[in-house]
């Protein structure tokens, strides 16, 4: 894998149990890239995200993800792979029984951080990056959907990952808030790490164009940047 590539996939196929989902995958994503992954429901985009995060195995071909070879990865290595990947969920998955600071503390302690001052400093850093430092002591249920998703992005940044995977990160948000979240993620890709966003919201692609990979008919293709995004039949 090139030093500039965070993801390098060659001649790979992805199966869900015994069903072929995607085949002949060749894909490289480099540092600080922002990439959309689009396709109809069931087209394989979530399966690709899950393979990158070792939620489903890679049985054919090769895929190097943040330095780990996915066809050879051992079970004991998966937690270490995931420390190098920030994940942004559609449904937030914040712990509702504790405030934002405690949510982020939980993640840092679970991944080996022990010094209180370092933990506190890192939490403030990531919340500042997403414009949520003033909400540090709020409970998740007092925040709007967009604010909760900003906290989720901050959580994904905690361990300085070289890659963020965002699976339908705006799926539960209104259009204006969705645009704000995409702006945050694009800014992060410029300054922090590569970002892959799986989405079927083509209005976002029109407003915030970037490299786009389409899943369709069990294969992936790169969309020509000159193509009118309205022509994407992805819903």
pLDDT at residue 235 above 50? no
12 occurs within a structural domain: no
The arithmetic mean of pLDDT across residues 70-97, rounded, is 91
Q: Evaluate whether residue 16 is within a structural domain.
A: no
Q: Looking at the domain assignment, is residue 212 inside a domain?
A: yes
pTM for the predicted model, two decimal places? 0.91
The domain in which residue 143 lies consists of 33-54+79-231
What share of the chain in percent tops pLDDT 70?
Answer: 94
One DSSP character per residue, the chain reads --TTEEEEEEEEEEEETTEEEEEEEEEEEETT-EEEEE--TTSSHHHHHHHHTTSS---EEEEEETTEETTT--GGGHHHHHHTEEEE-TT----TTS-HHHHHHHHHHHTT---HHHHHHHHHHHHHHTT-GGGTT--GGGS-HHHHHHHHHHHHHTT--SEEEEESTTTTS-HHHHHHHHHHHHHHHHHT-EEEEEE--HHHHHHS--EEEEEETTEEEEPPTTS-GGG----
Other C-beta atoms closer than 10 Å to the C-beta of 208 total 16
Question: Which pLDDT band, with edges at 50, 70 and 90, does 197 fall under?
Answer: very high
Number of domains in the chain: 1
Residue 43 placed within a domain: yes
* Residue 21 placed within a domain: no
Q: What is the pLDDT of residues 9-48, one digit of tens each?
A: 999 999 988 899 999 999 999 999 999 999 988 899 999 9
73 within a domain of the structure (yes/no): no
Would you say residue 2 lies in a domain?
A: no
122: domain CATH number? Answer: 3.40.50.300
**Is residue 3, in this structure, part of any structural domain at all?**
no
Per-residue pLDDT reduced to its tens digit, 200-221: 888 999 999 999 999 999 999 9
pLDDT, position 172: 86
């Amino acid at each position: 894998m090139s030093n500039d590539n965070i993801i390098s996939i060659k001649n790979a196929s992805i199966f869900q149990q015994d069903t072929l989902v995607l085949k002949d995958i060749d894909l490289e994503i480099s540092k600080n890239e922002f990439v959309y992954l689009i396709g109809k429901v069931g087209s394989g985009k979530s399966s690709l995200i899950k393979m990158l995060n070792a939620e489903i195995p890679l049985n054919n071909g090769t895929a190097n993800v943040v330095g780990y070879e996915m066809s050879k990865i051992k079970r004991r290595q998966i937690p270490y792979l995931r420390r190098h990947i920030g994940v942004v969920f559609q449904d937030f998955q914040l712990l509702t029984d504790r405030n934002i600071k405690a949510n982020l503390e939980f993640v840092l302690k679970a991944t080996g951080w022990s010094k209180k001052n370092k933990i506190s400093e890192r939490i403030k850093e990531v919340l500042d990056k997403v414009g949520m430092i003033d909400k540090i002591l709020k409970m998740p249920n007092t925040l709007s959907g967009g604010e909760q998703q900003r906290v989720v992005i901050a959580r994904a940044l905690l361990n300085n990952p070289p890659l963020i995977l965002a699976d339908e990160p705006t799926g539960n948000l209104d259009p204006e808030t969705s645009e704000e979240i995409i702006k945050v993620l694009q800014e992060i890709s410029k300054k922090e790490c590569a970002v892959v966003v799986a989405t079927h919201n083509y209005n976002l692609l029109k407003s915030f164009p970037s490299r786009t990979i389409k899943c369709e008919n069990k294969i992936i293709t790169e969309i020509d940047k000159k193509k009118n995004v309205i022509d994407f039949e992805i819903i």
